[in-house]
Amino acid sequence: MKEIVNISFPGLGIDEFSIRKIAFTLFGKLDVRWYGILITLGILLAVLYTVWRGKRNEGILSDHVIDVALVTVVLGVIGARLYYVLTDSGNTYESFLDVIAIWEGGLGIYGGIIGGCLGILLTCHLKKISWRKLLDMAAPGVMLAQAVGRFGNFCNGEAYGSLIGETTAFTFFGKEHILNVGEGSLFHTLRMGLSPNMYSSVQTYYFHPTFLYESLWNLLGFVLINLFYKHKRMDGQVVLFYFSWYGFGRMFIEGLRTDSLLIPGTDLRISQCVGLFCFVVGLVLFVLCFFLGGKRTPEVQVAEGEAEEEPQAASEALTEESADEQDAGMEEQEDAEDEASAPEKGE
């Protein structure tokens, strides 16, 4: 496998440049790849965003978010790898090392989402906090992480789309369509020159930069989901926004790719089918939330630690009030005793 990728975007005026897949080597043996660095950066941004959103809107302390994240990230990575391995019928995994070799690429985002959701449900149940709120808090961060992580595919020279010439192929649920994408069209302007590629190890061919399409789609979704957040009617509605938005975009972008995983025995692309399911179910439930949810209460910004301080302050106030009432009662009793002991008029 060649460790250098040559890339260009002639329609954008970007001449050919080279990217090394390996960023640096530790101790002369351990290769650290850009793919891993960018995915790790995406995960870190997602966790930081979730911490911020918990303090900003939901009143959930950062310590709880970190505890949830530790489990969720691990299960998310395991889920992403298992999803890819189980759906990748084109490769043979001869050993356990082959199965866990994520450093060679091969992560399924839907598997990562499933594993991550299971991690949130499990840890929220154990810590007795709202899993709907946690899903809402995490969803925009995941969208941001996906936007960053897709550039890991870019650095690996993978996950690109079909050839772009005068025409290009687009597959939608098993049926191939030929699109005109000649000079002047948007796709022709965005075309990516790549070598090595699936056709040649040295000659440059031009493809859809599907990593870029998906990254831009997720960035737009990240902006919109943040604008929507304070208008949600029910906890869980934000994550439904995420599922419907990502599913809709992935359903179409997947139709341009050349490395899609297929449902065994069919020409249907797995990610297109899952994307359609996420879009339809997510959109229906998202709309229902507007009818079932009440009017959203005004946001109350809760600083970290305030949640613990408020009960203590309330308890102190009640103690002071009880002491005042006790003092007043004693004074009234003393006054009554004085009246009883005073001589009556005329004696």
User: Do residues 191 and 9 lie in contact, with contact meaning Cβ atoms separated by under 8 Å?
Assistant: yes
Residue 88, pLDDT score? 80
Structure tokens that stand for 283 in this block: 């959109």
The mean predicted confidence, pLDDT, of the chain is 86
Q: Do the domain assignments include residue 61? A: yes
* Residue 305 is assigned to a structural domain of this protein: no
Residues 238-247 have pLDDT tens digits of 999 999 999 9
- More confident call, 330 vs 104: 104
Q: Does residue 223 sit within a domain?
A: yes
Residue 38 to residues 85, 144, 154, 257, 299, Cα–Cα distance (Å): 21, 12, 10, 21, 34
Beta strands in 134-173 (DSSP E): 167-172
Q: Which residue has the tokens 């793919």?
A: 35
Say if pTM beats, i.e. exceeds, 0.85. Answer: no
Q: Supply the range of the domain harboring residue 52.
A: 4-292
Is residue 41 pLDDT above 90, yes or no? Answer: yes
338 is a domain residue: no
Number of domains present in the structure of the chain: 1
Q: How far is CA 82 from the centre of its chain?
A: 18
- Residue 193 in any domain: the answer is yes
pLDDT at 93: 80
Within-domain flag for 322: no
C-alpha Rg value of the chain to the nearest Å: 29
What lies within 8 Å, CB to CB, of 103 at 6+ separation is 31, 33, 35, 36
98: confidence class by pLDDT, cuts 50, 70, 90 = confident
Residue 337: inside a domain, yes or no?
no
| Inter-residue contact 304 to 290 (CB < 8 Å) | no
Report which listed range, 2-6, 212-216, 317-321, is most confident.
212-216
Per-residue pLDDT band at 105 (split at 50, 70, 90): low
3-state secondary structure of 262: strand
Residue 331 lies in a domain: no
Q: What is the pLDDT of residue 309?
A: 43
